[in-house]
Homo-oligomer: A and B are copies of this chain.
Amino acid sequence: MLYSELVGKTKKEAPKDEESINAKLLIRGGFIHKEISGAYIFLPLGLRVLNNVVRIIREEMEAIGGQEMALTALQNPESWKTTNRWADDVIDIWFKTELNSGAETGLATTHEEPLTKLLTQHISSYKDLPIYLFQFQTKFRNELRAQGGLLRTREFLMKDLYSFNKNKEDFEKYYEKAKQAYIKIWDRLGIGDQTYVTFASGGSFGKFSHEFQTVCEIGEDIIYIDKEKKIAVNKEVYNDDVLKELDLKKEDLEKVRGIEVGNIFPLGTRFSEALGLFYTDEKGNKKPVVMGSYGIGPGRVIGTIVELSHDDRGIIWPENIAPYKVSLIGIGKEIEKKVQEIYKELEGSEIEVLFDDRREVTPGQKFADADLIGIPYRVVVSEKTEDRVELKKRDKDKTELVTVKGLIKLLN
């Protein structure tokens, strides 16, 4: 990609109404743009990052048997009334609206109700189970205050997976499998070290649900982490009994702030019983399906990564999700042809490269923009580099001279 043609240029200043580091850097870098408070446009660079995050999550969901589908945003109130989640004093983040034909509707904040209802048409026997369905779908949540840039928004893409099992035992096995898949996802996204499986309230069903909390100062949650055991306890369930049950000692725990990048939640039979999702077991008995839900917000993940991985100059993307792998800069008119050739050679080798081909901009400005955008490798071509190019990793100071062949080999 030629930087001169890319829509979404860098800015010197972030908008004054943005306080979080992730919003400031993502807006300055040309990744996102605020449409209204809590709803961000993804510019081409931002969409590339988002797609990379989505791809990784999708692969791991498919690896644990998830089938992808897409539910709707517009909701039929009936199912929600049945589970008592339609009223605004029960769920206070509904966006409600009305069809021109007169009927009431609302924008899905989550999707347990429509999916459970739908599956009553598809599940009748134990032979139809288990079922694991997931989607990447836009959620709308009418938060009183959107805050923290991409961390808490009113409109956002969410991966939600739902599990449907015959019984608690099968559910628990799958729940554990999903937990492991989540751990793998954080590793692939480059935040594995800072992300803790966190015991949190299980709500009306089980004792616990599990959050995945990434340690970060801007986080809304307070958690107690055991670095050794790599688990944490959310403040909401932090008490002596729980610590004893989890075999944790107060003196081993550190109180920190965390961002909830994902959660997995046992739903039991709350929704299946309310909405009539039963199956006939091997002995002919009618039983409610045991459910679980498993969420990740890719946008929040991106915000978290930027909060954790940046310096004074800008973002430092983990390689797996960077919008491009290489940022290419030429210095001096003399090497214009040469750098063009290198650009073509890299693209020909299927290396994703952002070539800063601007003529009216100084090398210093190009370096600054490359650092702000945060692409993992910077390649500089100048007369000084002779038949080689200068290679620098975004997160290191060291530069080295390599041949183009060597570069391609290194990056492939």
Q: Give the residues in chain B near A140, CB-CB below 8 Å.
A: 73-74
**Are the CB atoms of A73 and B138 closer together than 8 Å?**
yes
**Are the CB atoms of B92 and A69 closer together than 8 Å?**
no
Q: Which of A41-49, A165-173, A381-389, A394-402 is found at the contact surface with chain B?
A: A41-49
**Are the CB atoms of B72 and A155 closer together than 8 Å?**
yes
Q: Which of B50, B71, B98, B154 contacts A41 (CB 8 A)?
A: B71
Q: Give the residues in chain B near A40, CB-CB below 8 Å.
A: 72
How many of chain A's residues have a CB under 8 angstroms from any CB in B?
A: 58
**Are the CB atoms of B69 and A36 closer together than 8 Å?**
no
From 117 to 163 in chain A, residues with beta carbon under 8 angstroms from any chain B beta carbon are: 118-119, 121-122, 127, 131, 133, 138, 140, 142-145, 154-155
**Are the CB atoms of A145 and B33 closer together than 8 Å?**
no
A399, chain B: closest CB distance, angstroms? 31
* Distance between Cα atoms of A107 and B108 in the complex (Å): 13
A315, chain B: closest CB distance, angstroms? 18
Q: Is A273 in contact with chain B by the CB < 8 A criterion? A: no
* Distance between Cα atoms of A131 and B98 in the complex (Å): 36
Q: Give the residues in chain B near A155, CB-CB below 8 Å.
A: 72-74
Q: Give the residues in chain B near A118, CB-CB below 8 Å.
A: 33, 41
Q: Is A105 in contact with chain B by the CB < 8 A criterion? A: yes
Given contacts A75-B35, A76-B35, contact A69 B44 (CB under 8 A): yes
Q: Is A367 in contact with chain B by the CB < 8 A criterion? A: no
Q: Is A288 in contact with chain B by the CB < 8 A criterion? A: no
A147, chain B: closest CB distance, angstroms? 12
Q: Give the residues in chain B near A76, CB-CB below 8 Å.
A: 35-36
Given contacts A35-B74, A154-B99, contact A6 B67 (CB under 8 A): yes
**Are the CB atoms of A41 and B67 closer together than 8 Å?**
no
Please name the residue on chain B nearest to A114 by beta carbon. Answer: B35
From 91 to 112 in chain A, residues with beta carbon under 8 angstroms from any chain B beta carbon are: 92-93, 95-101, 103, 105, 107
Q: Give the residues in chain B near A42, CB-CB below 8 Å.
A: 69-70
Q: Is A68 in contact with chain B by the CB < 8 A criterion? A: yes
Q: Is A188 in contact with chain B by the CB < 8 A criterion? A: no
Would you list the 5 A-B pairs with minimal beta carbon distance, nearest first? Answer: A39-B72, A42-B70, A39-B74, A35-B72, A44-B67
Q: A residues near B, CB below 8 A?
A: 4-9, 33, 35-44, 46-47, 50, 67-76, 92-93, 95-101, 103, 105, 107, 114, 118-119, 121-122, 127, 131, 133, 138, 140, 142-145, 154-155
13 A-B interface contacts by CB (under 8 A): A4-B127, A7-B69, A7-B119, A33-B121, A38-B74, A38-B99, A44-B67, A47-B69, A74-B140, A74-B154, A74-B155, A93-B100, A95-B98
